[in-house]
DNA sequence: CGACATTTTGAGTCAGCTCAATCAGTGTGG
DNA sequence: CCACACTGATTGAGCTGACTCAAAATGTCG
């Protein structure tokens, strides 16, 4: 387990993917007061309908955003790795239209809205950096939406695997070939708009085709090119720093 | 056809849904230099991959955001009514990861990035107002994603109709009971991740159930409560001003 | 009246769903 | 160390919502 400085460092790293921030403003960010809290796996951090006075920074573990659709079950809307602030929007939007929950045991840092607002209002650079993050998130939504709407099940599954390892690599939690994949199959299915059973069968095919290995919560890419082909994966929409990418 | 002032007035109206702007800043917005351009129906305004130096303001007509997915056809990602700036993100994100196109003949106003940036950097209120708009857009993406992933075809169709008339009402283009619906059925299908044929059949059922009437590009709500039930529609995610809503 | 776009209908197929077991991995209490 | 309880993965057997292909019907507009 790391300390607060390192958690905030992750945040700064993320915020500076496109444009560097002057040292002075980096320092301001690193000084944000953070209240850490530990969550068991499968617990809610914030629930739909709530109004909050703080943002949460994912420090350790995997967090997801989801909605429950009457009857139809759960739709996972996004995945959040350390360094993400999945609810910056609560700064400007009154109430949550969805929930945030943990998919693994997780450490979450809470930062008061006032503290964040003071920063964004004090510097257009910081403000734009946060804004930019929310725009990238929207870009990922678009990709997911297009995938759920128009891609076949195998393609969606492969796409999720591509995206996951790409993001893990970008934050230094993977070497681009292998990484932990803490998602269960029902969770993957919920993210892709598929049933668990169908997901399982199509994932099995992807494995049998020799594209990936998945064992004991670990994903290993065996054929990156092949996987990208199935996925029709083009990492552009992630708007990451150039240069870092799997395989 | 209206004039530039009125087009910009629509924008200001949208930006002040949640928080009023002081008169001085409203004026700054209304003075934004706008270059109008007319587009035929079905033409692209910006294409995936392009880098732009301007934002576009929808002045008249209906605009959509879409992606083409190899093989699987087109996914319409969002619909944009007058007053929307569908590509504010181009201010902060290098290149388009999707295209913008017209669904009707349309008038689009172009505003140089520099002009917008000067404004957002000069006033955190304006900056937050724009940011907030992009956050609401993200909220709509989430709702659509959940719908495509987890709702049945009839529910999705009803949901789109509910959303459309709600937004039209919010900008004064509907009385809450009836409005123009310039979308063709293939377009609705593309927005919902359905095939045209299936869409048509399920829409026919909704009409036969007496929930709506659709004739000659015009949507009329016959049973708002019933339609919302089918749609499982809760307008919260649109984050509109309280009080204005259909029926 | 044409010519073209859009909607509607019919028929057959299939991807993805549900239901229902079975298997495997992990942890717990005795 | 083993039996039991759980959670998650896998497999099999239908079923059906949604798809494709193709054609007919209906608008729309110069």
Per-residue pLDDT reduced to its tens digit, B2-14: 788 999 999 999 9
By the 10 Å C-beta count (0-12 exposed, 13-18 middle, 19+ buried), A53 is classed as: exposed
A121 in contact with chain B, both atoms CB, cutoff 8 A: yes
Q: How confident is the model at residue A152 (pLDDT cuts 50, 70, 90)?
A: very high
Give the bases of strand D that a protein CB approaches within 7 Å: 7-13, 17-22, 27-28
pLDDT over 80 (residue B30)? yes
By the 10 Å C-beta count (0-12 exposed, 13-18 middle, 19+ buried), B112 is classed as: middle
Work out the number of other CB atoms within 10 angstroms of the CB of residue B231. Answer: 22
Tell me what pLDDT residue B246 has: 75
CA of A209 to C1' of D8 (A): 23
Average pLDDT over residues B114-122: 97
* Residue B27 per-residue DSSP state: H
Residues 153-182 of A with CB under 8 A from B: none
pTM of the model: 0.96
B74 in contact with chain A, both atoms CB, cutoff 8 A: yes
Q: How confident is the model at residue A244 (pLDDT cuts 50, 70, 90)?
A: low
Half-sphere exposure of A40 (CA within 13 A, CB side): 2
- pLDDT per position as a tens digit, A26-76: 999 999 999 999 999 999 999 999 999 999 999 999 999 999 998 768 999
pLDDT over 90 (residue B242)? no
Q: Determine the Cα–Cα distance for residues B129 and B88; give it in Å rounded to an integer.
A: 12
Q: How confident is the model at residue A216 (pLDDT cuts 50, 70, 90)?
A: confident
By the 10 Å C-beta count (0-12 exposed, 13-18 middle, 19+ buried), A115 is classed as: middle
Mode of pairing for the β-strands spanning B63-69 and B218-221? unpaired
Half-sphere exposure of B165 (CA within 13 A, CB side): 27
Query: What's the token pair of residue B67?
Result: 């992606």
Tell me what pLDDT residue B70 has: 82
B172-187 burial code (b ≥16 CB/10 A, e <16): eebebebbebbbeeeb
Among the partner residues A74, A138, A150, nearest to B141 by beta-carbon distance: A138
- Choice among B56-65, B112-121, B237-246 with the minimum mean pLDDT: B237-246
Q: How confident is the model at residue A118 (pLDDT cuts 50, 70, 90)?
A: very high
Tell me what pLDDT residue B2 has: 75
- Choice among A40-49, A234-243, B96-105 with the minimum mean pLDDT: A234-243
The H helix count followed by the E strand count for chain A is: 8, 10
Q: Determine the Cα–Cα distance for residues A9 and A230; give it in Å rounded to an integer.
A: 35
Tell me what pLDDT residue A221 has: 97
Q: Which of A67, A247, A87 is nearest to A168 (CA)?
A: A247
A118 in contact with chain B, both atoms CB, cutoff 8 A: no
Q: How confident is the model at residue B1 (pLDDT cuts 50, 70, 90)?
A: low
Q: Which of B77, B47, B75, B55 is nearest to B65 (CA)?
A: B77
Nearest chain A residue (CA) to B191: A149
Average pLDDT over residues B12-23: 94
Residue written as token pair 């999705």: B156
Sorted by sequence, the CB contacts under 8 Å of residue A219 that are 6+ apart come out as: A161, A164, A165, A178, A179, A180, A181, A212, A213
CA of A209 to C1' of D12 (A): 22
**CA triple A205-A206-A211, angle to 5 deg:** 140
Query: What's the token pair of residue B203?
Result: 């829409």
Residue written as token pair 């209002």: A121
Q: Nearest nucleotide (C1') to the CA of residue B208? A: C8
CA-to-CA separations, B25 to B33, B101, B124, in angstroms, rounded? 15, 30, 10
pLDDT, averaged across chain B: 95
Tell me what pLDDT residue A1 has: 64
Report chain A residues whose CB lies below 8 A from the CB of B139.
Answer: 89, 93, 97
Tell me which H or E stretch contains A121.
helix A113-122
Tell if B195 CB is < 7 Å from nucleic strand D. yes
CA-to-CA separations, A122 to A15, A116, A127, B41, in angstroms, rounded? 16, 10, 8, 44
* Residue A171 per-residue DSSP state: T
pLDDT, averaged across chain A: 95
- pLDDT per position as a tens digit, B138-162: 999 999 999 999 999 999 999 999 9
Report chain B residues whose CB lies below 8 A from the CB of A121.
Answer: 124
Tell me what pLDDT residue A159 has: 98
B48 in contact with chain A, both atoms CB, cutoff 8 A: no
Q: Determine the Cα–Cα distance for residues B3 and B118; give it in Å rounded to an integer.
A: 24
Average pLDDT over residues A85-92: 97
- Whether residue A148 and residue B147 make contact (CB cut-off 8 A), yes or no, is no
Domains of chain B (ranges; CATH) run 4-144 (2.60.120.10), 152-238 (1.10.10.10)
Q: Determine the Cα–Cα distance for residues B35 and A173; give it in Å rounded to an integer.
A: 47
Residue written as token pair 């599954």: A157
């Amino acid at each position: 387990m790391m300390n607060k400085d390192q958690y905030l460092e992750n945040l700064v790293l993320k915020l500076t993917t496109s444009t560097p921030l002057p040292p002075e403003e980096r320092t301001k960010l690193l000084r944000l007061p953070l209240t850490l809290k530990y969550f068991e796996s499968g617990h809610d951090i914030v629930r739909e309908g709530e109004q909050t006075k703080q943002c949460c920074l994912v420090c350790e573990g995997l967090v997801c955003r989801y909605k429950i659709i009457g009857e139809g079950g759960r739709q996972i809307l996004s995945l959040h790795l350390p360094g993400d602030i999945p609810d910056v929007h609560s700064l400007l939007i009154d109430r949550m239209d969805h929930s945030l929950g943990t998919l693994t045991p997780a450490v979450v840092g809470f930062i008061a809205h006032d503290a964040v607002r003071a920063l964004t209002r004090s510097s257009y650079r910081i403000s734009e950096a946060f804004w930019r993050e929310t725009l990238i998130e929207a870009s990922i939504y678009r990709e997911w939406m297009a995938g759920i709407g128009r891609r076949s099940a195998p393609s969606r599954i492969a796409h999720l695997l591509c995206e996951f390892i790409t993001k893990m690599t970008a934050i230094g939690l993977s070497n681009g070939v292998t990484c932990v994949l803490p998602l269960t199959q029902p969770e993957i299915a919920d993210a892709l708009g598929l049933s668990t059973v169908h997901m399982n069968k199509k994932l099995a095919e992807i494995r049998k085709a020799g594209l990936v290995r998945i064992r004991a919560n670990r994903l290993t890419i065996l054929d990156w090119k092949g996987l990208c082909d199935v996925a029709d994966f083009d990492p552009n929409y992630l708007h990451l720093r150039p240069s870092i990418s799997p395989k």
